[in-house]
Chains A and B, each alone.
Chain A
Amino acid sequence: MVIRGILSHAGSLALTTTQRQHGVPFFQLETVSRLPHAAPLSWQSESADLPRDFSDRGALNSLLKQQFPDASGELSPIQGGRDAAERQLSQINAKRYGRSRNHLNGSVTRLSPYIRHGVLTLSEVRDAVFAQLKANKQQRDEGGKLINELGWRDFWQRMWNDLGDRIHDDQEDHKTGLNPSDYQQNLPDDIREGRTGLACMDGFRNELVSHGWLHNHARMWMASYLVHWRRVHWSVGAKWFLEHLLDGDPASNHLSWQWVASCFSHKPYFFNRQNLDRYSDGSFCQECQSNQSCPFDKSYEQLEKQLFKVQQPIREGARPHRSSKPSKRKGPHQGIQRL
């Protein structure tokens, strides 16, 4: 192990279930009680230490309510800790991931909260993918998409290391024909409270707030809706996501929001109803109260005219953006925290 001194020392330097949401196999959830077994300490605790022994998750929830009274919400049903991470890791299917990851009910890994906080390392996940491919006598191509996605995580971290606090700034000009000042600096109440009347967006908001995790495609749709339909500045939405996402990572989050907004890409990302309906397998539109007045139910040409001031540069070569198919195009959208 390499030890590097830094700074001034240069030179020396309860019930386990698989929840189904919209028919989707979801996280391995601890729905009621069990907590990770607290690792023993070889030193005495102090009175000001936070407790490490709990009867159940309800006791932890109560403690957090007392200790962090301004922190909103409840515990997520998604549990932290190494045991939970290993259970989730055991569920990965690299081959199915490659085929289905763009669908909300696709076989995505849901490992991002654990990777974000080092509960699992990227190397451990990479090795697990390699082991699975070998055990199943599968070829490299069958794990390529998942390894690529791990590469995205590494890329974002390298970008963050490079940019530092500049991750909060627009990386490039917006390509929408709008000025940054055209975007509002507040999150509208109906979005924050999940009462837009759009079943998809309200559903995504509810999952974000209750679970702290969203499928990558849902993140993209929601970001696009906020920025392009509602003219909310990307940084407002990005901050809101970080309040809730268990994998909240300014690197991938902020740069992905900027990719949607077009200040970290050549074009803005937008979608239409057909696209959302396809990749959500029709789970929202039929029950939506706005079914007959859906703001997304237009052609891409119509939406370009409605949403942006500059149209020609957006339309040129825009199809890979629109389709969200698992295309060969290598763009940042492939990496918006899909894990």
Chain B
Amino acid sequence: MDPRKPIIWVHEEALGPSNPAFHEYPDAPGLFVFDEDWIQHEDISRKRIGFLYESALSLPVSLRRGNVVGEVLRFGQRHGADAVITTKAVDPRLQRVSAAIDRELPVWMIDPDPFVKLLKPPRLGRFSRYWRDAEAVVWEDF
């Protein structure tokens, strides 16, 4: 069943207005959380935090810091949410956060707009292999 009263969790890979969650659920409350564990463990500098902060300011999201899972669940509870909408993340850390949230509140993921749509997964390992598959498809839109 589709979410009826979701919240949006915006993460560090989707801090722009093209984030499809905003378009699919324009009325849903949104949240961005500064991940204190990540910031401390990785010694993230203030300028990186500031860049994220300024990017998040452009978006309709509340801002919190702390444990991401806990803050998202708390935000969801406050808004009576039945689901969390987010965009599919590449970073394994964010994937782990999604999985942890999902154990308490259903997480629905939206694929971000792809750079190139390939019919089958490209060959990786070296860029040249990938680009042999992808280049012509990228230029189809030109």
Q: Verify if A290 is at the interface (C-beta below 8 Å from B).
A: no
**Chain B residues within 8 Å of chain A by Cβ, number:** 75
Alpha-carbon gap, A36 to B78, bound state (A): 27
Given A80-B55, A157-B90, A246 contacting B16 (CB threshold 8 A): no
Report which of A2, A85, A212 forms a contact with B16, defined as CB distance below 8 A: A85
Q: Verify if A135 is at the interface (C-beta below 8 Å from B).
A: no
Q: Is the CB of B46 within 8 A of A330?
A: no
Q: Which residues of A contact B127 (CB under 8 A)?
A: 151-152, 155, 330-332, 334-335
Q: Is the CB of B50 within 8 A of A158?
A: no
Task: Choose the segment among A45-53, A221-229, A280-288 that binds chain B (4+ C-beta atoms closer than 8 Å).
Answer: A45-53
Report which residue of B15, B88, B116 has the largest number of chain A beta carbons within 10 angstroms of its beta carbon: B15
Q: Is the CB of B79 within 8 A of A43?
A: yes
Q: Is the CB of A151 within 8 A of B131?
A: yes
Report which of A51, A75, A121, A330 forms a contact with B47, defined as CB distance below 8 A: A75
Q: Verify if A201 is at the interface (C-beta below 8 Å from B).
A: no
Interface residues of A in 64-93 (CB under 8 A from B): 64-65, 67-68, 70-76, 78-85
Q: Verify if A165 is at the interface (C-beta below 8 Å from B).
A: yes
Interface residues of A in 140-173 (CB under 8 A from B): 140, 147-148, 150-155, 157-162, 164-165
Q: Tell me the nearest residue of chain B to A116, going by C-beta.
A: B13
Alpha-carbon gap, A153 to B112, bound state (A): 15
Q: Which residues of B contact A49 (CB under 8 A)?
A: 62-64
Q: Which residues of A contact B128 (CB under 8 A)?
A: 330
Alpha-carbon gap, A121 to B110, bound state (A): 15
Report which residue of B78, B91, B116 has the largest number of chain A beta carbons within 10 angstroms of its beta carbon: B91
Q: Is the CB of B79 within 8 A of A118?
A: no
Q: How many A-B residue pairs have CB under 8 A?
A: 252
Alpha-carbon gap, A119 to B18, bound state (A): 8
Alpha-carbon gap, A133 to B142, bound state (A): 9
Report which of B13, B29, B107 forms a contact with A118, defined as CB distance below 8 A: B13
Q: Verify if B69 is at the interface (C-beta below 8 Å from A).
A: no
Q: Which residues of B contact A179 (CB under 8 A)?
A: none
Alpha-carbon gap, A90 to B10, bound state (A): 26
Report which of A4, A75, A165 forms a contact with B92, defined as CB distance below 8 A: A165
Q: Tell me the nearest residue of chain B to A153, going by C-beta.
A: B115
Given A1-B23, A64-B50, A158-B130, A82 contacting B16 (CB threshold 8 A): yes
Q: Verify if A200 is at the interface (C-beta below 8 Å from B).
A: no
Given A61-B46, A248-B48, A251-B90, A6 contacting B110 (CB threshold 8 A): no
Alpha-carbon gap, A162 to B40, bound state (A): 26
Q: Which residues on A are within 8 Å of B, measured CB to CB?
A: 1-9, 12-13, 35-43, 45-46, 48-52, 60-61, 64-65, 67-68, 70-76, 78-85, 113-114, 116-124, 126-127, 130, 133-134, 140, 147-148, 150-155, 157-162, 164-165, 209, 211-212, 239, 242-246, 248, 250-251, 330-332, 334-335
Task: List 30 A-B pairs, Cβ < 8 Å.
Answer: A6-B88, A6-B107, A7-B99, A9-B107, A43-B62, A50-B64, A51-B63, A52-B57, A70-B40, A79-B54, A80-B52, A80-B54, A82-B16, A116-B13, A117-B13, A118-B13, A118-B16, A120-B16, A120-B18, A133-B142, A134-B142, A147-B138, A151-B130, A153-B115, A155-B124, A155-B127, A158-B122, A164-B92, A246-B48, A330-B127
Q: Which residues on B are within 8 Å of A, measured CB to CB?
A: 1, 12-20, 23-24, 27, 29, 34, 39-40, 42-55, 57-65, 78-79, 87-88, 90-92, 98-99, 102-103, 106-116, 122, 124, 126-128, 130-131, 134-135, 138-139, 141-142
